[in-house]
């Protein structure tokens, strides 16, 4: 009996331990970026973000002036019980009691720093990176050697607003259109109903790449390129099949009696749809809305093709990809920029996760 | 509404009826005209205006969403004004029409158009072939021009002859195999572990979180993990810091050209990281659907936990596993953003979708680009057929 309990305890330990390991593995990438976005540009470049955890590091405890001590930099010097030449001191010399000596500066004017291993944390956090990535102003940095460097910031505020202007209608428009269609498929009889729905099912897996070329040339002919309308319609077009399919699955299962009694009272299809079906379908609509919102907000390809020619309407993913391409080593901009691009989807996702999961499960019937 | 209006009209007589008819005509023409005017004005405003960003964004949202709602209300209003039989005949199409039209324009018809384009050269079919003003002789002539300018299947041949697609296809196979397999395995593992833990909710939320992150954002996150600096400087990327602290030399991971094609694995990891949450959620729900008695019976018979997993759980949720697997396979088949942002297809990491973008939009080769898109389409056709067959089997429709 006792051993059974022991086994259960060990089993629980194993399960939770393995789970903890996996969770850490999954969280560390994002955590590293998140922490780094608050560290200064110099810190990011000179040390790993994990230095925010307590760790052993060399810390300067005293500065010795070799001229005052009467040392001759051209020969072997005796400092703190260690014998070393200038070259050796430049590279760092360990004294018998575990300290480190480091010559900083040139042979004639430099000083010797005495360093000791100490437990340190580097907790110098600020919002400067976010200011830079959001305001678009130029910023001054002082390098360790005293030179001043001008670094351009980035204007992600505009891109953020553009993303909002793209994502909100691109979410609501296809849902509205799909809900009308789903209602018609579920509750109206008309010629071609079956074949049209077969088209919907068939289009579920068609890769959108197939459409980019022809649609772009249509947009050119209609002078639509680089407008919000172009992207909304494209997202509506690429999301409609799944939206119609999912909403049909839901709307067709609503109780028939409710609708029939409404028709008895003389309500038209339009009234039934707007007053009865839409409110009843809120859970399904919400699930798909989250789905579509995340998809559109995170989309890069569609925006690149249809908004690419108009830098004014650049969305966050495009902006971020631009920074990656042109300033791939400006980690202070990249880290903060990545979080600016993620903040809204993450908030939506965390606060509405329940709906999202429900939507995923409903959609899982088909790929 | 309709019947009430008709009764009132009946009571006022002929003059009134005429006025009512004129009124209706006015309503039927003027209101849509105004609505279209407003919508068009909004469109022009959005295209031309240099108002502050947030005003444009706000107008865009109100205009886009309101416009669609307005159009439906209008068309429905028009149809409801028609006599009853016509109303019954037309109303379904008011409801279903816009969806079908948009789907046809954006997905169904482009498959044919892209195939058509793939039979022609860099600039597509000659435009003068479609000049109808010349009448029948012109049409025949145009037809001849079309035939003459068509390159047949040359684009497809050159895809393979010039090895434009061979590397991409090899990499896509890696993506599809490793991406889907590892997402499924880790998703299943986490679902099973979480099911037995007190911290189920927390653990699942953490694993699920990357699903909300864009590929571009994930690209930045992982670029930071793989960051490499010269050997004499402190490493800022986790992976190289680990490696150097163990005495190794810093590595450039996905740009590691000596191990092509396996360097793609460093990019595939990103998608596994993103998609495991999706797999986990579906598996977790499926596992909870296994009847408790079934598992209990297995335990009573003395089966070990591992045996229960492989003999009972896996067969029970087989359907879900297949669904998740195919979903991720299709997903990795179309993979674009990650590769484009991380490497731009360099270092031998090209995939079909990046090659498509390169040919179609960078090199502006309409013919070859379309041919690549058709290859993508062909690859998903088995799944499409499976979906349609499944649909035909459930006779409920």
Q: What are the pLDDT digits (tens) for B284-312?
A: 888 888 888 888 888 888 888 888 888 88
Between the alpha carbon of residue B372 and those of residues A39, A210, B160, the distances in Å are 44, 9, 11
Q: Is A359 on the interface with B (CB under 8 A)?
A: no
Work out the end-to-end distance of chain B between its first and last CA atoms, rounded to an integer number of angstroms.
Answer: 32
pLDDT score at B10 = 44
- Give the closest-approach CA distance of B2 to chain A in angstroms: 10
- Closest in A158, A215, A300 to B215, CB measured: A300
Q: How far apart are CA A165 and CA B57, in angstroms?
A: 5
Suggest the residue from B3, B76, B78, B95 to mutate for an interface test with chain A (most A CBs closer than 10 A): B95
- Residue in A with minimal Cα distance to B191: A19
Q: Are A122 and A45 in contact (CB under 8 A)?
A: no
pLDDT score at A297 = 92
Average pLDDT over residues A343-353: 87
Q: Is A269 on the interface with B (CB under 8 A)?
A: yes
**Residues B65, A210: C-beta atoms closer than 8 Å:** no
Average pLDDT over residues B341-355: 86
Band the pLDDT of A349: cuts 50, 70, 90. Answer: confident
| B199-210: b (≥16 Cβ within 10 Å) or e | beeebbebbbbb
Suggest the residue from B5, B45, B64, B70 to mutate for an interface test with chain A (most A CBs closer than 10 A): B64
Q: How far apart are CA B352 and CA B332, in angstroms?
A: 10
Q: How far apart are CA B22 and CA B4, in angstroms?
A: 18
Q: What are the pLDDT digits (tens) for A141-167?
A: 776 666 777 777 777 888 888 888 888
Which residues of chain A from 14 to 43 reach within 8 Å of chain B, CB to CB? 15-16, 18-19, 22-23, 26-30, 32-33, 36
Q: Which residue, among A78, A61, A147, A66, has the nearest Cα to A110 in the 3D structure?
A: A66
Which residues of chain B from 119 to 158 reach within 8 Å of chain A, CB to CB? none
Query: What DSSP line would sit under B129-153, residue for residue?
Result: GG-GGGHHHHHHHHHHHHHHH--TT
Q: Which residue, among B237, B235, B277, has the nearest Cα to B254 in the 3D structure?
A: B237
Average pLDDT over residues A245-266: 83
Residue B130, pLDDT > 70, answer no
Q: How far apart are CA A165 and CA A297, in angstroms?
A: 10
- Give the closest-approach CA distance of A68 to chain B in angstroms: 32
Residues with Cβ within 8 Å of B382's Cβ and at least 6 positions away in sequence, in order, are none
- Give the closest-approach CA distance of A282 to chain B in angstroms: 17
Residue B16, pLDDT > 80, answer no
Which residues of chain A from 85 to 124 reach within 8 Å of chain B, CB to CB? none
Q: Is B366 on the interface with A (CB under 8 A)?
A: yes
ipTM above 0.90, yes or no: no
- Give the closest-approach CA distance of A114 to chain B in angstroms: 21
Q: Which residue, among B312, B317, B284, B204, has the nearest Cα to A361 in the 3D structure?
A: B284
Q: Which residue, among B150, B149, B130, has the nearest Cα to B140 in the 3D structure?
A: B130
Average pLDDT over residues A115-119: 78
Average pLDDT over residues B90-115: 88
- Closest in B61, B196, B340 to A169, CB measured: B61
Average pLDDT over residues B239-266: 80
CA B3 to chain centre: 46
Residue B273, pLDDT > 70, answer yes
Residue B7, pLDDT > 60, answer no
Least confident piece of the model among A71-80, A250-259, A309-318, B351-360: A71-80
Least confident piece of the model among A361-365, B226-230, B376-380: A361-365
- Residue in A with minimal Cα distance to B328: A367
Q: Which residue, among B168, B223, B201, B195, has the nearest Cα to B376 in the 3D structure?
A: B168
pTM of the model: 0.83
Q: Is A111 helix (H, G, I), strand (E, B) or coil?
A: strand
**Residues A240, B72: C-beta atoms closer than 8 Å:** no
- Residue in B with minimal Cα distance to A334: B220
- Closest in B72, B114, B210 to A213, CB measured: B114
Q: Are A187 and B87 in contact (CB under 8 A)?
A: no
Residue that has been written with the tokens 């400087």 in this structure: B233
Q: Is A4 on the interface with B (CB under 8 A)?
A: no
Which residues from chain B sit within 8 angstroms of residue A164, using beta carbons?
57, 61
Average pLDDT over residues B106-121: 89
CB atoms within 10 A of CB A79: 18
Residue B236, pLDDT > 90, answer no
pLDDT score at B27 = 66
Q: Which tokens in the block code for residue A103?
A: 């010559």
pLDDT score at A333 = 84
Output the CA angle B86-B84-A191, nearest 5 degrees.
Answer: 45
Q: What are the pLDDT digits (tens) for A39-92?
A: 888 777 777 778 777 777 777 778 888 777 777 777 787 777 777 888 787 777
Q: Is A146 on the interface with B (CB under 8 A)?
A: no
Which residues from chain A sit within 8 angstroms of residue B390, using beta carbons?
366
Which residues from chain B sit within 8 angstroms of residue A361, using beta carbons?
281-282, 285
The dihedral through the CA atoms of A254, A256, A259, A262 has a sign that is: negative
Mean pLDDT of chain A: 82
- Closest in A50, A207, A213 to B376, CB measured: A207
Rg of chain B in Å (alpha carbons): 30
Least confident piece of the model among A38-42, A172-176, B116-120, B357-361: A38-42
Mean pLDDT of chain B: 82
Which residues from chain A sit within 8 angstroms of residue B330, using beta carbons?
205, 367
- Closest in A29, A199, A232 to B108, CB measured: A199
Output the CA angle B39-B44-B50, nearest 5 degrees.
Answer: 130
């Amino acid at each position: 009996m006792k051993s059974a309990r022991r086994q259960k305890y060990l089993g629980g330990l194993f399960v939770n331990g393995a789970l903890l390991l996996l969770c850490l593995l999954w969280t560390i990438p994002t955590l590293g970026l998140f922490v780094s976005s608050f560290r200064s540009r110099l810190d990011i470049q000179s040390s790993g973000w994990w230095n925010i955890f307590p760790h052993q590091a060399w810390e300067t405890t005293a500065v010795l002036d070799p001229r005052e001590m009467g040392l001759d930099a051209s020969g072997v010097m005796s400092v703190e019980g260690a014998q070393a030449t200038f070259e050796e001191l430049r590279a760092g010399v360990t004294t018998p009691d575990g300290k480190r000596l480091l010559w900083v500066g040139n042979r004639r004017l430099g000083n010797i720093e005495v360093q000791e291993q100490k437990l340190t944390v580097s907790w110098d956090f600020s919002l400067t990176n976010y200011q830079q990535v959001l305001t678009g102003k130029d910023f001054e940095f002082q390098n360790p050697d005293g030179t001043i460097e001008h670094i351009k910031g980035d204007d992600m505020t505009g891109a953020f607003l553009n993303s909002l202007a793209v994502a909100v209608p691109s979410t609501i428009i296809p849902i509205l259109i799909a809900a009308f269609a789903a209602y018609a498929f579920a509750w109206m009889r008309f010629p071609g109903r079956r074949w049209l729905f077969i088209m919907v099912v068939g289009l579920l897996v068609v890769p959108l790449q197939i459409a980019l070329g022809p649609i772009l040339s249509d947009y050119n002919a209609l002078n639509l390129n680089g407008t919000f309308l172009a992207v909304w319609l494209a997202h509506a077009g690429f999301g409609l099949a799944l939206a119609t399919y999912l909403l049909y699955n839901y709307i067709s299962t609503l109780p028939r009696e409710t609708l029939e009694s409404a028709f008895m009272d003389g309500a038209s299809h339009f009234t039934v749809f707007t007053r009865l079906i839409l409110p009843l379908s809120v859970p399904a609509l919400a699930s798909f809305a989250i789905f579509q919102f995340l998809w559109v907000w995170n989309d890069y390809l569609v925006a690149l093709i249809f908004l690419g020619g108009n830098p004014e309407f650049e969305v966050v993913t495009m902006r971020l990809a631009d920074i990656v391409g042109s300033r791939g080593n400006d980690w202070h901009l990249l880290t903060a920029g990545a979080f600016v691009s993620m903040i809204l989807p993450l908030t939506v996702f965390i606060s509405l996760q329940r709906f999202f999961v429900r939507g995923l499960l409903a959609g899982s019937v088909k790929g | 509404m309709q019947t009430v209006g008709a009764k009132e009209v009946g009571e006022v007589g002929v003059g009134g009826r005429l006025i009512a008819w004129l009124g209706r005509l006015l309503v039927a023409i003027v209101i849509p005209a105004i609505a279209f005017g407003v919508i068009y004005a909004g469109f022009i405003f959005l295209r031309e205006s240099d108002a502050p960003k947030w005003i444009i964004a706000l107008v865009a949202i109100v205009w886009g969403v309101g416009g669609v709602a307005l159009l439906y209300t209008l068309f429905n209003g028009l149809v409801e004004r028609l006599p009853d039989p016509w109303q019954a005949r037309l109303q379904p199409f008011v409801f279903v029409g816009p969806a079908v039209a948009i789907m046809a324009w954006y997905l169904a018809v482009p498959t044919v158009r892209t195939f058509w384009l793939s039979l022609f050269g860099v600039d597509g079919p000659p435009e003068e072939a479609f000049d109808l003003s010349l009448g029948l002789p012109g049409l025949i002539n145009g037809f001849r021009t079309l035939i003459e300018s068509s390159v047949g299947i040359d684009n497809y041949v050159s895809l393979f002859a010039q090895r434009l697609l061979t590397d991409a296809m090899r990499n896509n196979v890696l993506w599809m195999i490793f991406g889907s397999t590892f997402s499924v395995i880790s998703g299943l593992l986490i679902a099973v572990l979480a099911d037995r833990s007190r911290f189920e909710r927390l653990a699942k939320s953490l694993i699920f979180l990357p699903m909300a992150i864009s590929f571009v954002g994930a690209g930045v996150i992982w670029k930071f993990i793989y960051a490499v600096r010269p050997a004499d400087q402190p490493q800022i990327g986790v992976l190289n810091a680990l490696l150097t602290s163990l005495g190794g030399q810093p590595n450039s991971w996905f740009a590691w050209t000596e191990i092509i094609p396996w360097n793609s694995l460093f990019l595939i990891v990103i998608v596994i990281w993103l998609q495991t949450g999706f797999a986990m959620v579906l598996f977790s729900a499926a596992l909870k659907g296994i009847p408790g008695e079934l598992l209990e019976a297995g335990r009573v018979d003395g089966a070990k936990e591992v045996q229960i997993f492989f003999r009972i759980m896996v067969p029970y949720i087989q359907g879900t596993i297949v669904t998740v697997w195919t979903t991720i396979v299709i997903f990795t088949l179309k993979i674009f953003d990650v590769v484009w942002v991380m490497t731009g297809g360099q270092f031998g990491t090209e995939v079909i979708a990046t090659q498509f973008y390169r040919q179609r939009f960078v090199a502006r080769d309409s013919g070859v680009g379309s041919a690549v898109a058709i290859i993508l389409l062909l690859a998903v056709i088995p799944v499409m057929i499976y979906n349609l067959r499944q649909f035909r089997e459930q006779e409920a429709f």
